[in-house]
Amino acid sequence: MSRKGKLAALALVSVLLTGTITACSSSNNGKNNASSETPAADANAGAGNGSSANEATKDPYEVAIALPVFGAIPQDMKIVQEEINKITRAKINTTVELLPISIGTWGQQLNLMTSGGEKLDMFFSFGAAYGSDVAAGKIIELDPLLEQYGQDLTKQFDPAYLDSAKVNGKLYGVPVLKDFTTGHPGIVMRKDLVEKYKIDVNAIQSLDDLDAVFQTIKDNEPSMSPLGRGLSGPMDVYQWYDKMGDKYGVLPGYDNGLKLDNLYETQEYESTVNKMRSWFKAGYINKDAATSQVNDADMVKAGKAFSYFVNNKTAALDSEMRASGRELVVAPLMKETYSTTSEVLTGVWTISANSAKPERAMMFMNLMYSDPAIANLLQWGIKDKHYVLNAENTVEFPAGVDSKTVAYSNQAWLIGNPLLTYPFKTEGADKWILTKEANATAIKSKALGFSFNSEPVKNEMTALKNVTDEFAKGLESGALDPASVLPEFRAKLKSAGIDKVIAEKQKQLDAWAATQK
């Protein structure tokens, strides 16, 4: 295949991949604290030292925490919350209130909370929104708070990864400790149907190899879509370029001499959406792909889809099987894996500008990243009620309970430091060792560590988001015809100021690069 063909294929993988994130980590000196007993509570942990600690925690305070939830809100979330509060009351005289918000209304509800002055101390920021949250003043700088109240948190990080969250030299959010690589693009498929139709998984090495597979499913399983495209946003994961945070100015080949390109003007993007259109017209993709609010894994769980694309990171297959409730097989589609700022910042924890006591929010954040008991409560719930612990320090569901019926479980990529949690039994006790190896062997983007400060072009960023919201998912799901729509999309991006944004990002990138020499 020619280089152009390979790039087009990789671009298509990038478009199709879901934003499923496997909870992983890369630091903590390679130690898995989940394999040891939870340390005894220290009454001053996370609260600074000496008299200042006593002064900061003398009055009770409740930290309100907003977090997105895929699917139904866990039935026992309030019970788990109270178990967390037993720890935080003793350590920092603080309680927490978990405020779960359905992912389908997350952006709208969070905007209402932040703009309306509601009580809100901490919230999870998706990487794509992080720069905008900084520019809009929704979140506060964390450096002084980390220095005084976040010593245990900062010890968990390789400084290079923590620094990747800095905007204009200041830290506004703490990344979730996880696999910081792009992973290996892959497609997961229902194992029972793969076996039933004798699909040769090893023969699937490119997107072109999937046409025959999809046609087989379409011919024999008319009630389901060969490829499920649900809530996962288009262009969630990138393989042939560094998305540089927001897609408005990308770095081809993760290098390109640090010169940015307009993604939507590239031939690779055009080839991608044309291919998607052909798949959509062939009936390989669900007809509501452009508007669906259903998670891809849930489509497979409900029997409405045969497969979906994933970011195949460490233990990803097991996570997808638990999410979909079905046996799956995975076919990798690319060998290379990269480490980028965007991967570090897929999710960050922030302190809201609405917080009345940001120091107390930082105290809890410090515990969330350093206390194994809190990490496992947030992830798995209550021992022997929601999970059981095996001898090798892995967990599984109690007898008679599975992923569909358990009363509490969480998305590991939300909890701050999943390195402190027990791996699920089928993931293997060496999950975190493998994750560290993945981060160590990934090809580092030449722009790793650069974060864009969008404040100088915040109006253009808002306009560009409106344009991409209007066109991107429809084009990238195949629902819209690129022949007529892509030129209009490109023209509206121009009118919205994409050239100005790319120029500003290039200016900042050049300045950042000068400091790295």
Percent of the chain scoring above 70 in pLDDT: 88
User: Is the pLDDT at 39 greater than 60, yes or no?
Assistant: no
Q: Are 92 and 45 in contact (CB under 8 A)?
A: yes
User: What average pLDDT does the segment 153-164 reach?
Assistant: 88
**Strand pairing partners for 186?**
310, 332
Average pLDDT over residues 340-364: 94
- Going from the C-alpha of 172 to that of each of 28, 190, 348, 362, 484, the distances in angstroms are 21, 41, 9, 12, 41
Burial of 517: CB neighbours in 10 Å, binned 0-12, 13-18, 19+: exposed
- CA dist 131 and 176 (Å) reads 16
Residue 8's pLDDT is 41
Judged by average pLDDT, the poorest of 206-210, 356-360, 488-492 is 206-210
What pLDDT is recorded for position 80?
96
Please enumerate in sequence order all residues whose Cβ is within 8 A of that of 501, keeping only pairs 6 or more positions apart, or say none.
Answer: 248, 249, 454, 457, 460, 461, 464
Q: Of 476, 416, 182, give the one whose Cα is nearest residue 310.
A: 182
Whether the pLDDT of residue 304 is over 60: the answer is: yes
The pLDDT of residue 22 is above 80? no
Average the pLDDT over 260-278 and give the result: 92
Mean pLDDT for the chain?
Answer: 86
Report H helices in 26-178. Answer: 50-56, 77-92, 106-115, 127-135, 143-149, 151-154, 159-163
Residue 158: which pLDDT band, with cuts at 50, 70 and 90? confident
Separation between Cα atoms, residue 468 and residue 482, nearest integer Å: 14
The owner of tokens 């900084």 is 134
Q: Pick the range with the lowest mean pLDDT from 215-229, 351-365, 414-428.
A: 414-428
Name the H helices within 93-135. Answer: 106-115, 127-135
Q: What is the CA radius of gyration of the chain?
A: 23
Residue 53: band (very low, low, confident or very high) from pLDDT cuts 50, 70, 90 = low
Quote the pLDDT of residue 164: 86
| pLDDT level of residue 61 (50, 70, 90 thresholds) | very high
Query: Which is more confident, 207 or 222?
Result: 222
And the tokens for 368?
């969330």
Of 6 and 357, the one with more pLDDT? 357
The confidence score (pLDDT) of residue 206 equals: 85
Least confident of 31-40, 149-158, 216-225, 306-315: 31-40
Q: Which of 297-311, 438-452, 467-481 has the lowest average pLDDT?
A: 438-452
Provide mean pLDDT across the span 222-229: 94
Return d(Cα 499, Cα 203) in angstroms, integer. Answer: 42
Q: Averaged over 253-271, what is the pLDDT? A: 94
Tell me what pLDDT residue 40 has: 32
Given a cut of 70, is residue 21 above it in pLDDT?
no
Q: At CA 349, angle to CA 345 and CA 351, rounded to 5?
A: 130
The answer to which of 34-48, 71-85, 101-115, 287-301 has the lowest mean pLDDT is 34-48
What's the length of the chain? 517
Cα–Cα distances in Å, from 467 out to 60, 224, 461? Answer: 46, 32, 10
- The answer on pLDDT for 228 being more than 70 is yes
Q: What is the mean pLDDT of residues 88-107?
A: 95
Tokens read off for 57: 């925690």
3-state secondary structure 167-223: ECCEECEEECCCCCECCEEEEEEEHHHHHHCCCCHHHCCCHHHHHHHHHHHHHHCCC
Distance CA 395, CA 22 (A): 16
Q: Quote the pLDDT of residue 236.
A: 55
Q: Compute the average pLDDT of residues 53-74.
A: 89
pLDDT of residue 231: 74
Residue type, position 497, single letter? G
pLDDT, tens digit, for every residue of 491-514?
999 999 999 999 999 999 999 999
Residue 332's pLDDT is 87
Query: Average of pLDDT values for 398-404?
Result: 91
Given pLDDT bands bounded at 50, 70 and 90, which one contains residue 24? very low
In this predicted structure, the answer to whether residue 397 has a pLDDT above a threshold of 80 is yes
The predicted structure's pLDDT at residue 52: 57
Helix (H, G, I), strand (E, B) or coil at 327: coil
| pLDDT at position 45 over 60 | no
**Banded pLDDT at 331 (limits 50, 70, 90):** very high
State the DSSP H helix or E strand holding residue 403, giving kind and residue range, or none if neither: none
The pLDDT-based confidence of 17 (bands split at 50, 70, 90) is very low
Mean pLDDT confidence for 432-460: 88
State the pLDDT at residue 441. 87
pLDDT for 37 equals 33
Supply the pLDDT for residue 169. Answer: 83
Using 50, 70 and 90 to split pLDDT, how confident is the model at 129? confident
Is the distance from CB of 300 to CB of 326 less than 8 angstroms? yes
Q: Give the C-alpha separation, 284 to 228, whole Å.
A: 8
